């Protein structure tokens, strides 16, 4: 129920937003601006309210969650979000071997420019990843995700149609997968979860993830949620392809939901990042239905957490500089 306020005439005043209190709070908790919430309520319910009315309602009901965009002007917010989207897209796709530079990526996303001499697939991958970022933003207002959301994200990020029944897009893997690494000068194969057990393990992952998603967390808790979601997802490796990109997108949902900027693993840290994941997975063994603990021996992740905290500083610095009204002269370039 909404809070009633008695007017001078003695009649109680009840905001038009009161019947939709839960929806408004969910949208606000996802970092959606009050202007966007007003438009969304008009679209959903034909409710004509001003952004000031939305802001007043949220203040009255104490629903406003921390948002890293707070304190930044509306115009600068848009530019900052473009910067973060491009940086996130470039680094995540570059880790997977994409050859577009950060400037190339920004040109493709901002202006639709094809970069001469670069593969078509590289262009498609950055556009698809950027759409994945947009999809993650759309999930923020829900407070939880379902299996179909994860499968939909895979369809968005893997921008191709597969006719191979064993390599489906938007479905769990149908063949076992694994990766190779080197230990003591020898090539070693490390398997991930079996295809047969993946649906069961992903149901467990979703249950754990949604518990983290809904936390109102501080910076340390947001960091821990990112690491837990990321590492447990790649232990399962539920898709034939795109697991790293999907993990780096989904693991940021609790971070964004808690009001912080996304964690972006820098492309230049690729080998260090892969080595940390490899070392942990080799130490704890293959996840299986018979031993389904998502993060055994979690203390082994302390080094990875330290690295992730350092990598996170780049987007945190971008936000701080936007709040101070300065343009960055570093890696994120203006076109």
Residue 179 bridge partners (DSSP): 190
Tokens 């936007």 correspond to: 322
Residue 183 bridge partners (DSSP): 186
- For residues 313 and 60, what is the distance between their CA atoms, to the nearest angstrom? 34
Residue 189 bridge partners (DSSP): 180
Residue 188 bridge partners (DSSP): 181
Other CB atoms closer than 10 Å to residue 283's CB: what's the count?
A: 10
- For residues 101 and 83, what is the distance between their CA atoms, to the nearest angstrom? 14
Q: What is the CA 19 to chain-centroid distance, rounded?
A: 30
Fill in the DSSP letter of residue 267. G
- For residues 260 and 108, what is the distance between their CA atoms, to the nearest angstrom? 26
> Are the beta carbons of 328 and 80 closer than 8 angstroms?
no
* Cα angle for residues 174, 230, 216 (degrees, 5° grid): 130
Residue 237 is among the residues annotated as catalytic for this protein: yes
Catalytic residue among 129, 154, 230, 237: 237
> Are the beta carbons of 192 and 288 closer than 8 angstroms?
no
- Look at residues 82, 1, 79, 69 and name the one whose alpha carbon lies nearest to residue 33: 69
Catalytically annotated residues: 237
């Amino acid at each position: 129920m909404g809070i009633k306020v008695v007017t001078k005439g003695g009649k109680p005043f009840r905001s038009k937003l009161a019947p939709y209190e839960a929806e408004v709070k969910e949208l606000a908790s996802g970092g959606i601006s009050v202007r966007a919430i007003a438009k969304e309520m008009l679209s959903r319910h034909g409710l004509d309210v001003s952004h000031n009315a939305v802001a007043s309602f949220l203040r009255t009901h104490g629903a406003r969650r921390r948002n890293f965009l707070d304190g930044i002007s509306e115009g600068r917010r848009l530019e900052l979000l473009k910067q973060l989207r491009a940086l996130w897209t470039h680094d995540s796709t570059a880790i997977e071997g994409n050859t577009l530079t950060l400037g190339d990526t920004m040109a493709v996303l901002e202006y639709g420019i094809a970069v001469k001499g670069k593969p078509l697939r590289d262009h498609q991958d950055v556009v698809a990843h950027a759409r994945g970022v947009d999809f993650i933003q759309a999930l923020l207002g829900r407070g939880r995700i379902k299996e179909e959301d994860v499968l939909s994200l895979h369809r968005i990020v893997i921008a191709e149609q597969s006719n191979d029944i064993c390599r489906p897009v938007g479905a769990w893997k149908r063949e076992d997968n694994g990766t190779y690494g080197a230990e003591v000068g020898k090539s070693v194969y490390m398997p991930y979860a079996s295809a047969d057990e993946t649906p069961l393990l992903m149901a467990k992952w979703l249950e754990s993830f949604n518990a983290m998603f809904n936390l109102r967390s501080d910076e340390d808790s947001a960091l821990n949620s990112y690491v837990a979601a990321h590492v447990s997802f790649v232990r399962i490796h539920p898709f034939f392809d795109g697991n790293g990109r999907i993990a780096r997108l989904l693991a940021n949902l609790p971070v964004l939901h808690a009001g912080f900027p996304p964690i972006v693993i820098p492309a230049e840290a690729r080998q260090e990042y892969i080595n940390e994941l490899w070392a942990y997975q080799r130490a704890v063994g293959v996840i299986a239905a018979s031993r389904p603990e998502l993060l055994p021996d979690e203390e082994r992740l302390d080094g990875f957490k330290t690295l992730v905290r350092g990598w996170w500083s780049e987007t945190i610095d971008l936000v701080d500089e936007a709040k101070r009204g300065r343009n960055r002269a570093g890696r994120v370039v203006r076109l």
